[in-house]
Structure 1
Amino acid sequence: MSQGTGEGARFVRWLEGEVIADARGDRLTETQTRPADRLWLGRLAPEETAWKIGKGQRAQRLDPCSIGMTFRPQTWEWRIEVSFVVWTRHGEKNDVKWKKSERLHVAVEPGTLSSATRGTFSFGEKNFAGVFAAHGINDRSARIDVEIGREHDHPTATVLVVNDTAEKKAFDANMYEVVIRVRTGRVTPILLDALPDSFRYDRKISAYGVNAGVVYDSEWLESTDAVTAKRRRPEYWDTALGSQPDLSFATLAHDPLPALRALVDALDRWGDEHWSTERLAQRAAADGWTDEMHEEARREAARFGKEVTRARAGLAALEDNATLRAFRLTNEAFDHSGAPGRYTSWRPFQIGFLLAVLPSLVQDDDERRRVVDTLWFATGGGKTETYLAAIVFSCILDRLRGKRHGITAWSRFPLRMLSLQQTQRFADALAGAELARQRAGIEGDAFALGFLVGGPPAGTPNRIRDDAKDNETDTRTLVPASHRVLLHCPFCFSDQLQMHFSRRTWRLEHRCTATGCPWTLEKGLPCHIVDDEIYRFLPSVVVGTLDKAASVAIQAAQRGLYASPIGRCSRDGHGFTYAPRSASPYGCQVPGCKEPATALGQEIPLFAPTLRVQDELHLLRDSLGAVDSHYETLLDHLQRRTKGPSAKVIASSATLSGYEHQVEVLYDRQGSVFPLPGPAPGASFWTKDSDALARRYVGLAPRGQTLEFANDRLAESLQRAVRRLITEPQVVCAEAGIDPSGAEALLDQYGTHVVYGTKLADVDAAARSFETGQVSVSPLNVERLTGDTELEKVREVLARLGDPESAFDDRIHVICASSMMSHGVDVDRFNVITLLGIPLATAEFIQTSARIGRRHPGLVFVLHRMGVERDSSVFRSFAPYVEQGDRFIEPTAITRRSRRVLEHTFPGMFSARVHGIHEAKRVRAEGKNISMARALREYAASAPILEDQEFAELCDALGLDPDGTSPLRAELRHQVRLTFQEVNNPASRARFVSELLPARPMRSLREVETQVEIRSRDDR
Structure 2
Amino acid sequence: MTMNKPIASEIRDRLITELRRDLVGPHTPNEEISDRPSVQYLTGILYPAGKETEASEEDEHLGVGGDDAGDESENQVIFSQTMYPSAIGLSFAVDQNVSKLYVQVDYGIYKRSESSSGVTWKRQQITESIIIIVNKSSSVSLDHGARLEWSVQPYLHIITVTISLVNRNISPFGQQIDDDLCLFQPAIRVMAESGERPFSHRVPLGTIPDDPDLESYRLLYRDSYEFAVGHNCAVSWGDVVNENCGWLQTWIIPDYQLQMTTPNAMDGLEMSALADAPTPADITIRLQPLLDAYALWIDQQHAQISSLAPPLHPIAERHIVRCRQTLDRMRSGLRLLQSDQQIFEAFRFANRTMLLQRSYGTWAEEYRRIGSRRSSPTMAGTWRPFQIAFILLNLEGIAQPEVTDREIVDLLWFPTGGGKTEAYLGLTAFTIGLRRLRGEINGHRGDGGVTVIMRYTLRLLTTQQFQRAATLICACEYLRRRDTATWGTEPISIGLWVGAGATPNSIKGDDGAEEALKKLYSGKQLHEGNPVQMTSCPWCGEELGPRSYSIDTERERMIISCPRKECEFHSPKGRPDRSIPTLLIDEDIYHFCPTLLLATADKFARLPWKPQTMALFGKVERHCPKHGYLTSADEHPASHRTAKGEPPIPIRHCPPFLPPELIIQDELHLISGPLGTLTGLYETAIDVLCIRPGERGKAIRPKVIASTATIRRAHDQVRGLFARDVQLFPPSALNAQDSFFARSQPLDQQPGRSYVGVFAPGRSVKTALVRVYAILLQVGGELMADYGPDVADAYFTLVGYFNSLRELGGALRLVEDDIVQRMKLLSIQRKKKLREISAEDCELTSRIPSTRIPTILKQLELTGGTKGSLDVLLATNMISVGVDVPRLGLMVVNGQPKASAEYIQATSRVGRRLDAPGLVITVYNWSRPRDISHYERFLPYHEALYRHVEATSVTPFAPRARDRALHAVVIAMARLLKENWADNKSASRFDPDHPVAQRIWQQIQQRVDVVDPNNRSEVDEQIKLLIDWWVKMSDYHKSDLRYQPNPYQKSATTPVLIHPAEEERPGGSRPTLNSLREVEGQSQLFVRWEE
Q: Following the alignment from structure 1 to structure 2, what is the Cα–Cα distance between the partners of residues 521 and 865?
A: 56
Q: Following the alignment from structure 1 to structure 2, what is the Cα–Cα distance between the partners of residues 964 and 159?
A: 53
Q: Following the alignment from structure 1 to structure 2, what is the Cα–Cα distance between the partners of residues 864 and 642?
A: 56
Aligned equivalent of 1:83: 106
Q: Which of 396, 407, 416 lines up with 2:450 in the alignment?
A: 407
How far apart are 1:176 and its partner, in Å?
1.4
1:296 matched to 2:315: yes
How far apart are 1:358 and its partner, in Å?
0.7
Q: Residues 634 and 268 from structure 1, CA distance in 2 versus in 1: closer, same or farther, beyond 3 angstroms? A: same
Q: Which of 674, 683, 692 lines up with 1:623 in the alignment?
A: 674
1:812 matched to 2:870: yes
Q: Which of 198, 202, 211 lines up with 1:187 in the alignment?
A: 198
- What per-residue deviation string (whole Å, max 9, x for no partner) do you get for residues 901-923 of structure 1? 111112211221232122x146x
How far apart are 1:680 and its partner, in Å?
1.0
How far apart are 1:535 and its partner, in Å?
0.9
How far apart are 1:800 and its partner, in Å?
2.4
Q: Following the alignment from structure 1 to structure 2, what is the Cα–Cα distance between the partners of residues 422 and 296?
A: 37
Q: Residues 962 and 444 from structure 1, CA distance in 2 versus in 1: closer, same or farther, beyond 3 angstroms? A: farther
Aligned equivalent of 1:739: none
Q: Which of 629, 633, 643 lines up with 1:576 in the alignment?
A: 629
Contact 2:220 2:734 in 1 (8 A): yes
Aligned equivalent of 1:748: 793
Aligned equivalent of 2:11: 11
How far apart are 1:548 and its partner, in Å?
0.7
1:994 matched to 2:1058: yes
Aligned equivalent of 1:166: 170
Letter in 2 for 1:423: F
Q: Following the alignment from structure 1 to structure 2, what is the Cα–Cα distance between the partners of residues 401 and 702?
A: 65
Q: Which of 566, 571, 581 lines up with 1:526 in the alignment?
A: 581
How far apart are 1:762 and its partner, in Å?
2.0
Aligned equivalent of 1:592: none
Contact 1:566 1:577 in 2 (8 A): yes
Q: Following the alignment from structure 1 to structure 2, what is the Cα–Cα distance between the partners of residues 937 and 954?
A: 22
Q: Which secondary structure does the structure 2 equivalent of 1:553 belong to?
A: coil
Q: Which of 913, 916, 931 lines up with 2:984 in the alignment?
A: 931
Q: Residues 31 and 426 from structure 1, CA distance in 2 versus in 1: closer, same or farther, beyond 3 angstroms? A: same
Contact 2:450 2:616 in 1 (8 A): yes
TM (normalized to structure 2)? 0.80
- What per-residue deviation string (whole Å, max 9, x for no partner) do you get for residues 56-95 of structure 1? 9988998421112212234333333222223455569x99
Spell out the pairing of 1:231-246 with structure 2 (5 A cutoff): 231-237=258-264, 244-246=266-268
Q: Residues 296 and 938 from structure 1, CA distance in 2 versus in 1: closer, same or farther, beyond 3 angstroms? A: closer
Spell out the pairing of 1:334-373 with structure 2 (5 A cutoff): 334-339=354-359, 340-341=361-362, 344-373=381-410
How far apart are 1:488 and its partner, in Å?
2.5
Q: Following the alignment from structure 1 to structure 2, what is the Cα–Cα distance between the partners of residues 819 and 779?
A: 28
Q: Which secondary structure does the structure 2 equivalent of 1:631 belong to?
A: helix
Contact 1:421 1:487 in 2 (8 A): no
Contact 1:911 1:994 in 2 (8 A): no
1:397 matched to 2:420: no
Q: Following the alignment from structure 1 to structure 2, what is the Cα–Cα distance between the partners of residues 305 and 775?
A: 58
Spell out the pairing of 1:559-570 with structure 2 (5 A cutoff): 559-570=614-625
Aligned equivalent of 1:799: 858
Aligned equivalent of 2:285: 258
Aligned equivalent of 2:543: 495
Aligned equivalent of 1:506: 556
Contact 2:235 2:938 in 1 (8 A): no
Q: Following the alignment from structure 2 to structure 1, what is the Cα–Cα distance between the partners of residues 390 and 758?
A: 39
How far apart are 1:306 and its partner, in Å?
0.1
Contact 1:374 1:673 in 2 (8 A): yes
Aligned equivalent of 2:373: none
Q: Which of 872, 881, 889 lines up with 1:831 in the alignment?
A: 889
Aligned equivalent of 2:660: 609
How far apart are 1:642 and its partner, in Å?
8.8
Q: Following the alignment from structure 1 to structure 2, what is the Cα–Cα distance between the partners of residues 845 and 963?
A: 35
Letter in 1 for 2:356: H
Q: Residues 881 and 483 from structure 1, CA distance in 2 versus in 1: closer, same or farther, beyond 3 angstroms? A: farther
Contact 1:85 1:100 in 2 (8 A): no
Relative to structure 2, which stretch is displaced further, 332-341 or 826-835?
Answer: 332-341
Q: Which of 833, 836, 861 lines up with 1:779 in the alignment?
A: 836
How far apart are 1:307 and its partner, in Å?
0.7
Q: Residues 953 and 214 from structure 1, CA distance in 2 versus in 1: closer, same or farther, beyond 3 angstroms? A: closer
Q: Following the alignment from structure 1 to structure 2, what is the Cα–Cα distance between the partners of residues 521 and 475?
A: 18
1:885 matched to 2:922: no
Q: Residues 897 and 885 from structure 1, CA distance in 2 versus in 1: closer, same or farther, beyond 3 angstroms? A: same
Aligned equivalent of 1:228: 255
Contact 2:112 2:119 in 1 (8 A): yes
Q: Following the alignment from structure 2 to structure 1, what is the Cα–Cα distance between the partners of residues 9 and 510?
A: 59
Q: Following the alignment from structure 1 to structure 2, what is the Cα–Cα distance between the partners of residues 151 and 326?
A: 66
Contact 1:62 1:703 in 2 (8 A): no
Q: Following the alignment from structure 1 to structure 2, what is the Cα–Cα distance between the partners of residues 628 and 472?
A: 32
Q: Residues 444 and 703 from structure 1, CA distance in 2 versus in 1: closer, same or farther, beyond 3 angstroms? A: same
Relative to structure 2, which stretch is displaced further, 984-993 or 173-182?
Answer: 984-993
How far apart are 1:857 and its partner, in Å?
1.0
| Aligned-pair identity (%) | 25
Q: Following the alignment from structure 1 to structure 2, what is the Cα–Cα distance between the partners of residues 975 and 896?
A: 17
Contact 2:271 2:383 in 1 (8 A): yes
1:712 matched to 2:783: no
- What per-residue deviation string (whole Å, max 9, x for no partner) do you get for residues 100-158 of structure 1? 32222233333xx33x42xx4221x2x31xxx4xxxxxxxx221111111346410111
Q: Following the alignment from structure 2 to structure 1, what is the Cα–Cα distance between the partners of residues 77 and 497?
A: 50
Q: Which secondary structure does the structure 2 equivalent of 1:101 belong to?
A: strand
Q: Which secondary structure does the structure 2 equivalent of 1:418 belong to?
A: helix
Q: Following the alignment from structure 1 to structure 2, what is the Cα–Cα distance between the partners of residues 443 and 253?
A: 19
Aligned equivalent of 1:768: 813
1:981 matched to 2:1032: yes
Q: Which secondary structure does the structure 1 equivalent of 2:855 belong to?
A: helix
Q: Residues 475 and 796 from structure 1, CA distance in 2 versus in 1: closer, same or farther, beyond 3 angstroms? A: closer
Q: Residues 147 and 548 from structure 1, CA distance in 2 versus in 1: closer, same or farther, beyond 3 angstroms? A: same
- What per-residue deviation string (whole Å, max 9, x for no partner) do you get for residues 625-659 of structure 1? 12111111211112337998421111112234111
Letter in 1 for 2:496: F
RMSD: 3.4
Q: Following the alignment from structure 1 to structure 2, what is the Cα–Cα distance between the partners of residues 867 and 712?
A: 18
Contact 1:68 1:209 in 2 (8 A): yes
Q: Residues 337 and 192 from structure 1, CA distance in 2 versus in 1: closer, same or farther, beyond 3 angstroms? A: farther
Aligned equivalent of 1:145: 149
1:376 matched to 2:436: no
TM (normalized to structure 1)? 0.86
Q: Which of 846, 849, 860 lines up with 2:904 in the alignment?
A: 846
How far apart are 1:271 and its partner, in Å?
0.9
Q: Following the alignment from structure 2 to structure 1, what is the Cα–Cα distance between the partners of residues 1022 and 1037?
A: 25
Contact 2:76 2:927 in 1 (8 A): no
Aligned equivalent of 1:556: 611
Q: Following the alignment from structure 2 to structure 1, what is the Cα–Cα distance between the partners of residues 564 and 509?
A: 31
Q: Following the alignment from structure 1 to structure 2, what is the Cα–Cα distance between the partners of residues 483 and 957?
A: 38
How far apart are 1:946 and its partner, in Å?
9.2
How far apart are 1:956 and its partner, in Å?
5.0
Letter in 1 for 2:781: R
Q: Following the alignment from structure 1 to structure 2, what is the Cα–Cα distance between the partners of residues 71 and 823?
A: 38
Q: Which secondary structure does the structure 2 equivalent of 1:205 belong to?
A: coil
Q: Residues 836 and 962 from structure 1, CA distance in 2 versus in 1: closer, same or farther, beyond 3 angstroms? A: closer
- What per-residue deviation string (whole Å, max 9, x for no partner) do you get for residues 882-941 of structure 1? 2322221112222233122111112211221232122x146xxxxxx6313xx3325649
Contact 1:41 1:703 in 2 (8 A): yes
How far apart are 1:235 and its partner, in Å?
3.8
- What per-residue deviation string (whole Å, max 9, x for no partner) do you get for residues 808-828 of structure 1? 586311111111211111111
Aligned equivalent of 1:1015: none
1:431 matched to 2:484: no
Q: Following the alignment from structure 2 to structure 1, what is the Cα–Cα distance between the partners of residues 480 and 860?
A: 34
How far apart are 1:990 and its partner, in Å?
5.2
Q: Which secondary structure does the structure 1 equivalent of 2:189 belong to?
A: strand
Q: Residues 614 and 561 from structure 1, CA distance in 2 versus in 1: closer, same or farther, beyond 3 angstroms? A: same
Q: Which secondary structure does the structure 2 equivalent of 1:754 belong to?
A: strand
Contact 1:417 1:820 in 2 (8 A): yes
Aligned equivalent of 2:976: 916
Aligned equivalent of 2:21: 21
Q: Following the alignment from structure 1 to structure 2, what is the Cα–Cα distance between the partners of residues 953 and 222?
A: 61
Q: Following the alignment from structure 1 to structure 2, what is the Cα–Cα distance between the partners of residues 965 and 938?
A: 28
How far apart are 1:443 and its partner, in Å?
1.3
Contact 1:407 1:561 in 2 (8 A): yes
Q: Residues 477 and 596 from structure 1, CA distance in 2 versus in 1: closer, same or farther, beyond 3 angstroms? A: farther
How far apart are 1:96 and its partner, in Å?
6.6
Q: Following the alignment from structure 1 to structure 2, what is the Cα–Cα distance between the partners of residues 587 and 30?
A: 91
- What per-residue deviation string (whole Å, max 9, x for no partner) do you get for residues 399-441 of structure 1? 1122222111111112244353321111111112222333444
Q: Residues 585 and 1002 from structure 1, CA distance in 2 versus in 1: closer, same or farther, beyond 3 angstroms? A: farther
Relative to structure 2, which stretch is displaced further, 160-169 or 984-993?
Answer: 984-993
Aligned equivalent of 1:69: 90
Aligned equivalent of 2:374: none
